[in-house]
Structure 1
Amino acid sequence: MKKNDQEITLLNSDNVSNKDIEKNNYKTTNVNILLNRVRLDKKRTFKKRFIFSIFLVTVISSLIVYFVI
């Protein structure tokens, strides 16, 4: 009779430990990865703004040259 009781308690303890393991499995992201992503995003936006500004200056200067001459 004792063996049956012992098996039940062992099974119950396994279930509890499995639940604890599942709760502790959080997805974490490395902070360095996030910071690198922010840096890359900043570089991209700077490049886009720079290219757009050069394009805008070129268009405006070409229009000025066209209408003045």
Structure 2
Amino acid sequence: MKRSDREINLLDISQTEHRSTRSNKIKTTDVNILLNRVRMTKKIELKKRVIFLASLLLGVILISIFTLI
């Protein structure tokens, strides 16, 4: 067996702690993902509004037809 030149010091964990805290502090977000999410929510809201207005209009039409009969 070959002996490795590097010694692993298990008691010195300061480097790993430093790396983990550094990686936790750096958080990036992709702007395109955020813009796509905004577009998707706008589309969903528009669909909900159209469905609501169509059902409301249908209800008003049905009520007016039944009152005229």
1:65 aligned partner: 65
Q: Which structure 2 residues correspond to residues 1-69 of structure 1 after superposition, within 5 A?
A: 15=15, 18=18, 22=22, 25-69=25-69
Deviation of 1:37 after TM superposition, in Å, equals 0.1
CA distance in 2, matches of 1:56, 1:25: 50
TM-score, normalising length: structure 1:
0.67
TM-score, normalising length: structure 2:
0.67
CA distance in 1, matches of 2:41, 2:60: 28
Unaligned runs of 5+ in 2: 1-11
Unaligned runs of 5+ in 1: 1-10
Residues 63 and 23 of structure 1, relative CA distance in 2, 3 Å threshold: same
- Seq. identity, %: 41
Count of aligned positions: 55
CA distance in 1, matches of 2:42, 2:35: 11
CA distance in 1, matches of 2:58, 2:24: 57
CA distance in 2, matches of 1:24, 1:65: 64
CA distance in 1, matches of 2:53, 2:24: 50
Residues 68 and 24 of structure 1, relative CA distance in 2, 3 Å threshold: closer
User: Where is the helix percentage greater, Structure 1 or Structure 2?
Assistant: 1
